[in-house]
Chain A
Amino acid sequence: MRSGRLCGSLGRNVIAEDRDAKMDPFAYHRPESLADACERLGREGARILAGGTDLIPQLREARRRATHIVDVKLLPGCAAIAAGDDGGLVIGAAVPASVVARHPEILARYPALAAAAGMIGSLQVQNRATLGGNICNAAPSADAVPPLLVFDAQVTVSGRSGERRMPLEDVFAGPGRTNLEPGEVLTTIHLPPQAARSASHYLRFTPRREMDIAVVGVAARVACGADGLVSEARIALASVAPTPIRARGAEAALIGRGLDEGAIAEAARAAMAEARPISDTRASAEYRRALVEVLARRALAHCRDRLDEAFAGRAE
């Protein structure tokens, strides 16, 4: 029987068949090399354990089953935050959300991601939940994913046949499903460097202030040229489609324009039009669409204010 998790939601309802289910016995592995990890993950019934804040309730309620649990927290690079070769940032998949939320460089350069990491579950959950887990659990409501999408994040995936790097957007196959192959593990998340004149923000709506799941989440990032016009825009949405999505129409509506009320309103309406939410116990589709418009507008207004501050700072 489902009791819900804090890190993400697959939107599944309680189903009676779950009631009598049990957690299968499993073998626990804590590999220290990627090769070892991939070998173990290739076994039948193997599942990755990172923070466990989604996996443990899923196993307990038999929403997922596992005979091998492979703990990836000791894998090289998985637990560190490091500078990227391109001037960006590389975040290990097993870095806890609380570390992301407090990291000075993420706060300064990728504030939308820091904000989102600080919203996942409670502080207790943030101390366990990882960025990689938030991605690979593939919940439509994953808070960290929209910010990562607006930063054009890429991920490195390791498997028995080696490494591959892919855009984050390509990871998601559907609710609870990724495009990772059996035996593959997501090890690092790459954030490219940010343009000088750019701002980002993440907003979500929940009925409670804490310990809740995004009814809707909206991340926005805007970069402006020297003329003050929008040169690059990203908007990504949570909880309004089978996977977190980019709102490309809304992004296009901003390009080449000043970030004024009219442009913001138009982009927000476009984002609403791109949302294709479902109705469930947390909200109706109609309410979710309404919230997309509101949150997109507010997130973009926040970006505009940050950019205005930056301009003002330079003028002094």
Chain B
Amino acid sequence: MSRLMIEARVNGETVTALADPRDTLLDLLRDRLGLTGTKEGCGNGNCGSCTVLVDGEPVNACLMFAVEAPGREILTVEGLSRNGELTDLQRNLADSGGTQCGFCTPGIVLSATALLARNAAPSEADIRLAIAGNLCRCTGYDKIVRAIALTAEQRRR
């Protein structure tokens, strides 16, 4: 099967890549575009490690074909920082124990980014629901939840 040329908007830039039609968006990002910050933990939408934002909404990149990407605005963890400057959410997660092994972390960063964009004052339950699609095996979630809540609180100040 011949490869397809895919042109997509990723992290604010127009990118092109040759892809196999069977490639998922995750394959496109990791293997064709070298954006390895998005992780593959299960390949079936059951862990959330590959969460990216598609038109602002969290999506499992493993559950979307690369050929569906054109016309969508895709944001990965690499697209969050500007000129090497991390977002406040990223800093809070890093500085308060919200990341341990780090494998689920990019997905959690994006799920939480989407939450804070639509809810400036999330409750603990809101936060837990927003990251319920992101499995973390190291932290027990506690410090992640607190870092997200702290970020919301700091932004409201």
Residues of A within 8 A of B (CB): 3-6, 23, 25-28, 49, 51-53, 56-57, 59-60, 69, 71, 73, 98, 121-125, 127-128, 209-211
When A23-B22, A28-B65 are in contact, do A127 and B44 touch as well, CB less than 8 Å?
no
* A52 to B26 Cα, complex, angstroms: 14
* A210 to B111 Cα, complex, angstroms: 15
Shortest distance from the beta carbon of B17 to any chain A beta carbon, whole Å: 15
* A272 to B46 Cα, complex, angstroms: 31
| Interface of chain B residues 30 through 76 with chain A (CB within 8 A) | 42-46, 48, 51, 54, 57-60, 62-65, 67-68
Is B132 on the interface with A (CB-CB < 8 A)? yes
Shortest distance from the beta carbon of A18 to any chain B beta carbon, whole Å: 13
Residues of B within 8 A of A (CB): 1, 4, 20-22, 24, 42-46, 48, 51, 54, 57-60, 62-65, 67-68, 111, 129-130, 132-135
Which residues from A are CB-within-8-Å of B134? 122
When A3-B43, A127-B57, A128-B64 are in contact, do A56 and B4 touch as well, CB less than 8 Å?
no
Q: Could you write out 22 A-B pairs with CB less than 8 Å apart?
A: A6-B46, A25-B20, A25-B21, A26-B21, A51-B63, A52-B63, A52-B68, A56-B63, A60-B44, A122-B133, A123-B58, A123-B111, A123-B129, A123-B130, A124-B51, A124-B58, A124-B63, A124-B111, A124-B133, A125-B133, A127-B57, A211-B133
* A6 to B130 Cα, complex, angstroms: 17
Give the total number of A-B pairs whose CB atoms are below 8 A apart.
Answer: 95
Contact of A28 with B133 in the complex, beta carbons under 8 Å: no
* A49 to B66 Cα, complex, angstroms: 13
Closest to A121 in B: B45
Contact of B44 with A210 in the complex, beta carbons under 8 Å: no
Contact of B24 with A56 in the complex, beta carbons under 8 Å: yes
When A124-B59, A128-B64 are in contact, do A3 and B133 touch as well, CB less than 8 Å?
no
* A121 to B45 Cα, complex, angstroms: 8
Contact of B64 with A211 in the complex, beta carbons under 8 Å: no
Which residues from B are CB-within-8-Å of A128? 59-60, 63-64
Shortest distance from the beta carbon of A29 to any chain B beta carbon, whole Å: 10
Contact of A52 with B46 in the complex, beta carbons under 8 Å: no
Which residues from B are CB-within-8-Å of A53? 45, 60, 63
Contact of B65 with A49 in the complex, beta carbons under 8 Å: yes
Contact of A52 with B65 in the complex, beta carbons under 8 Å: yes
Which residues from B are CB-within-8-Å of A27? 1, 21
Which residue, of B43, B63, B132, B135, has the highest number of chain A Cβ atoms within 10 A?
A: B63
